[in-house]
Amino acid sequence: MREHYREEIKDKKRIVVKVGTSSLIHPETGGLDLIKVERLVRELSDLHNQGRDVILVTSGAIGVGRKAAGLKEKPDRVSLKQACAAIGQARLMMIYQKFFAEYNQVAAQILMTRNTMLNQKNRRHAQDTFEELLELGAIPVVNANDSISTFEILHGDNDTLSAIVASLVEADLLILLSDIDGLYTDNPSLNPEAEFIPYVKELDGNLKSMGKDAVSGLGTGGMTTKLIAAELATSVGADMLIANGADMSVLHRIMDGQPYGTFFQANKDEQFDLKTFLEAHFS
């Protein structure tokens, strides 16, 4: 018998899906994995056709830009990363637009900065735009505005961004697609004894200490920032899932209530203040 929280996923109406660089780019060449991007778009389009509001938070601008600019090494200077993001974001969006259009969907780009989140007026404006877009039936495609703001690059983290978006649009589900099945008791690439955790009712200090950085590869933030995202998302009333984006069809399986990934139970905290939370984690 399936757990009730899995069954309840079927009824989710507003879903934010975040996809990490490691799920979009071929690690051997740095080139975009077009089959995965196409499948991701097909899955999201189908969720939208089912009558749900869908928002995509996508990383990958720096990685795609690095490849397009012909850089052999991962860029180290912040300004070079910003330049790669400027090149890559345009390419990435062009590809998303193309695939979404093939499935008869309207995609919209939203690039956010730290101020969008912290400044009350900016936050309100972003919120209004999201609402109008969802009302129009568009699919917002969100990334950090890395070429004009360095904060996101320095703190390297679209995981938190996706939880902030979930909070802005009052989503009822956030799904993080990564290169790993979910949360383990330790980083499984370093510790073969690490055990998989399918369900988290409440994020306590012990669980938070299990999230470590990524050892290498294309992503940034590792599990640490995913757990910060989980704390934020669940506190504002959204359930959250971390699942493996190696096969993008995991999305409709999750929405069908099948037991993929680590599920974090929403635990709405009426006292929760986004500004205080962000300042505590990223000052």
Ligand X SMILES: Nc1ncnc2c1ncn2[C@@H]1O[C@H](COP(=O)(O)OP(=O)(O)O)[C@@H](O)[C@H]1O
Residues annotated within the binding site for substrate are 59, 146, 158
List 97, 150, 189, 265, residue binding ligand X (CB under 6 A):
189
Q: Which residue's CB is nearer to ligand X, number 62 or number 138?
A: 62
Among 22, 145, 162, 234, binds ligand X (CB under 6 A): 22
Q: 183-222: which residues touch ligand VHF (CB under 6 A)?
A: 219-221
> What residues between 50 and 89 interact with ligand VHF by CB under 6 A?
59-63, 85
Tokens of 27: 């690690």
Shortest distance, position 256 Cβ to ligand VHF, whole Å: 25
Tokens of 71: 């850089």
Burial of 72 (0-12, 13-18, 19+ CB in 10 A): exposed
Q: Which of 63, 65, 140, 219 binds ligand X (CB under 6 A)?
A: 219
Q: Encoding tokens for residue 130?
A: 């999201």
> Known binding site: residues?
18, 59, 146, 158, 178-179, 220-226
Nearer to ligand X, 88 or 219 (CB): 219
Which position among 211, 231, 234, 254 is part of the footprint of ligand X (CB under 6 A)?
A: 211
Residue 222 amino acid letter:
G
Binding map of ligand VHF across residues 238-257, x = CB under 6 A, - = no contact:
--------------------
18 forms bridges with which residues in the sheet? 57, 176
> Rounded distance, CA 56 to CA 105, Å?
13
Helix (H) or strand (E) run with residue 140 in it: strand 139-144
Residue among 138 and 228 whose Cβ is closer to ligand X: 228
Nearer to ligand VHF, 27 or 259 (CB): 27
Least distance from ligand VHF to the Cβ atom of residue 183, Å: 15
| Cα separation, 211 vs 203, whole angstroms | 11
Token pair belonging to 15: 């879903």
Distances (CA, A) of 173 to 94, 99, 163: 27, 24, 10
Site for ligand X (CB under 6 A): which residue of 222, 232, 243, 255? 222
Q: Which of residues 106-145 bind ligand VHF (CB under 6 A)?
A: 143-144
In the numeric block, the tokens 């979910």 are attached to: 182
Instruction: Give me the least distance between CB of 67 and ligand X, in Å please.
Output: 16
Taking CB under 6 A as the rule, does residue 20 contact ligand VHF? yes
Which residues are CB-contacts of 6 (< 8 A; sequence separation ≥ 6)?
257, 258, 259, 263
Which tokens belong to 79?
């300004």
268, with CB counted inside 10 A (0-12, 13-18, 19+), is exposed
Smallest distance from ligand X to CB 125, Å: 27
**Cα separation, 127 vs 150, whole angstroms:** 22
For ligand VHF, the closer of residues 246 and 267 by Cβ is: 246
C-alpha distances out from residue 32 to 16, 65, 222, 256, Å: 22, 10, 20, 28
Query: With CB under 6 A as the contact rule, which of the stretches 27-35, 44-52, 155-163, 260-268 interacts with ligand VHF?
Result: 155-163
The contact set with ligand X (CB under 6 A) reads 20-23, 178-180, 183-184, 186-189, 210-212, 214-215, 217, 219-223
